[in-house]
Amino acid sequence: MGKIVAYEKDSFRVETSFGIAIIYKDRIERIVFEPGSKEAADKTGPASAPPPAAKPAPKETAPPPSPPPARIVEYVSGTRYINETFRFQMFKPPTWRSYPQLVRPGGPLVAALGTPDETTLMLVGRENFNGDLTGYARLAENALQRTYADYRKQNERRTTVAGLPAFERDFTGEAEGRFWTGTALYFARGRDYFTILSLTAAGDTTNFQQTLLRKVVDTLEFLPE
């Protein structure tokens, strides 16, 4: 087999794999035409495109925390303290008062109650945290150590607050010229982590005030949304 590259009066010049051959017309039995490269390509059809690369699955991201409220709405009704902004309520002893001047929008403190002489206080804090309760309690203890001089941890235990798992820590320390006996409670509600600090520097009535503080904590409940 070969390819005709020229022809003369009575012969063809044929290019073969062995070189150029001269073939006389009277010796040709037949001529077969092979399809060109374009025809071959048409018969085979266009090359199939590679399949598109699989797109990576989008990463799940936690929704951003809600913006802080413009103001905190709270009020006292008889012996009930109600926090409308963060939807919780609890018992308020008759001799206690609220301290709205301590609560600022955007800050971690969302409620402050206590005796008029401020020797017994209950502070409620709230913030967003992405870890677990143990991690939150550990970070919160660092804050206590910075706040109270001669901070000493007494006891730690698991408990519940408003039906939610909680971590409780007893401690003592000095602040603002007073020696405080305190209990810190930490619990989570969704992405919101709460801290309840029960503090008293009441001297001889410390045990009584601690019992009263515990009663207040036990009445904490969240309102329907």
Task: Map out the domains of the chain with their CATH numbers.
Answer: 3-41 (no CATH), 74-222 (3.40.1000.10)
pLDDT for the residue 20:
56
pLDDT tens, residue by residue, 167-180 = 999 999 999 999 99
pLDDT surpassing 60 at residue 30: no
pLDDT for the residue 27:
60
Phi and psi at residue 205, in whole multiples of 5°?
-100, 20
Q: Between 106 and 62, where is the model more confident?
A: 106
The residues facing 183 across adjacent strands are 170, 198
Mean pLDDT for 193-200 is 98
Phi and psi at residue 45, in whole multiples of 5°?
85, 165
Mean pLDDT for 112-123 is 97
pLDDT surpassing 90 at residue 186: yes
pLDDT tens, residue by residue, 118-160 = 999 999 999 999 999 999 999 999 999 999 999 999 999 999 9
Which residue do the tokens 């150029």 mark?
20
pLDDT surpassing 50 at residue 34: yes
pLDDT tens, residue by residue, 43-67 = 555 555 566 655 655 555 555 666 7
- Identify the weakest region by mean pLDDT among 3-12, 73-82, 121-130: 3-12
pLDDT for the residue 225:
82
Of the candidates 187, 180, 216, the one whose C-alpha atom is nearest the C-alpha of residue 201 is: 180
Give the number of other Cβ atoms within 10 Å of residue 69's Cβ. 13
In the chain, the percentage of residues whose pLDDT exceeds 70 is 71
